[in-house]
Amino acid sequence: MAALDFLKTAELLKQGAEARVYRAEFLGKPTIVKERFPKRYRHPTLDEKLTHRRTTQEVRSILRCRRAGIRAPVVYFVDYTSHCIFLEEIVGSSTVRDHIASSQQSDSGTEQNLQQLAERVGQILAKMHDEDVIHGDLTTSNMLLRRSQKDGESELVLIDFGLSYISALPEDKGVDLYVLEKAFLSTHPNTEELFEKLLKSYAASSKKSSAVIKKLDEVRLRGRKRSMVG
């Protein structure tokens, strides 16, 4: 298997729950290779179906985003036998998570910076949802800020579309935002206002936002209103 042989010479960056991520050079370009390895606890048929589906969904969603002008890594190559995706490495970037965390620690005129960042995130998510792409795993670790050489304004890049899929349903978009809200608030304490700003920016930028925000409110209540017997 050529892709797996190739990986033997690559640098393993991390082993997440879902996949192993490597850094390598492919066709002369800095590349990230995402290998979805088999999960032994799953029934083999389920594992194969799930892994294949997630690989294709990930690639499809990234391509759809890119076509709409949303910044996501370029897909260089996909090996469907070993479930490896070869992606552009976003060099010179840091996660929004690290950015917020360090901003909060330094507190030097960062209030405005963070608010601007929140607005930009709201905008990019609105654009993504208007393309009917559901990210499926929105966290501040899955958003990168890449410093642009030219004018200093950094570029916001969405990554890790491993749980993504295509859907026009406001319910799915609402849940997508709910996942982000939970991840956001649990990772970054005392940021309720910042997240509100993000949502306002989303609502203003998306053409279909009111139904989505309504669904978000419904999903938020579900945790509280569910019958918890047993």
Partner 1 sequence: MSSAAMTVVIGFEGSANKIGIGIIRDGEVLSNPRRTYITPPGQGFMPSDTARHHRAVILTVLKEALEQAGLKPADIDCVAYTKGPGMGAPLVTVALVARTVAQLWGKPLLGVNHCIGHIEMGRLITKANNPTVLYVSGGNTQVIAYSERRYRIFGETIDIAVGNCLDRFARVIKISNDPSPGYNIEQMAKKGSQYVELPYTVKGMDVSFSGILSYIEEAANKMLSSGQCTAEDLCFSLQETVFSMLVEITERAMAHCGSQEVLIVGGVGCNLRLQEMMGVMCQERGAKLFATDERFCIDNGAMIAQAGWEMFRSGQVTELEDSWITQRYRTDEVEVTWRD
* Residues lying near partner 1 in the complex (CB under 8 A): 16-18, 39-43, 45-46, 49-50, 136-139, 163, 175, 179, 182-183, 186, 219, 222-230
Which are the contacts of 209, defined by CB distance < 8 A and separation ≥ 6? 126, 202, 203
**Going by DSSP bridges, is the β-strand pair 143-146/133-134 parallel, antiparallel, or unpaired?**
unpaired
Q: How far apart are CB 12 and partner 1 at their closest, in Å?
A: 15
Nearer to partner 1 by C-beta: 12 or 204? Answer: 12
Instruction: Find the shortest distance in angstroms from Cβ 41 to partner 1.
Output: 4
| Closer of 71 and 182 to partner 1 (Cβ) | 182
Residue 215 in 3-state DSSP? helix
Residue 229 CB, nearest distance to partner 1 (Å)? 4
- What lies within 8 Å, CB to CB, of 31 at 6+ separation is 23, 24, 25, 76, 86, 87, 88, 89
Closest CB 97 distance from partner 1, rounded Å: 11
Nearer to partner 1, 7 or 88 (CB): 7
- One-letter amino acid for residue 178 of the chain: Y
User: Contact at 8 Å (CB) between 192 and 185?
Assistant: yes
38 contacts 20 by C-beta, under 8 angstroms: no
- Distance in Å, CB of 153 to partner 1, minimum: 29
Query: Phi and psi of 179, rounded to 5°?
Result: -60, -45
Cα separation, 150 vs 103, whole angstroms: 23
Please say whether the beta carbons of 154 and 103 come within 8 A.
no
CB-wise, 146 or 220, nearer to partner 1? 220
Q: CB-wise, 8 or 40, nearer to partner 1?
A: 40
Structure tokens at 180: 């982000």
Q: Choose the catalytic residue: 47, 98, 130, 137.
A: 137
160 is catalytic: no
Catalytic residue list = 137
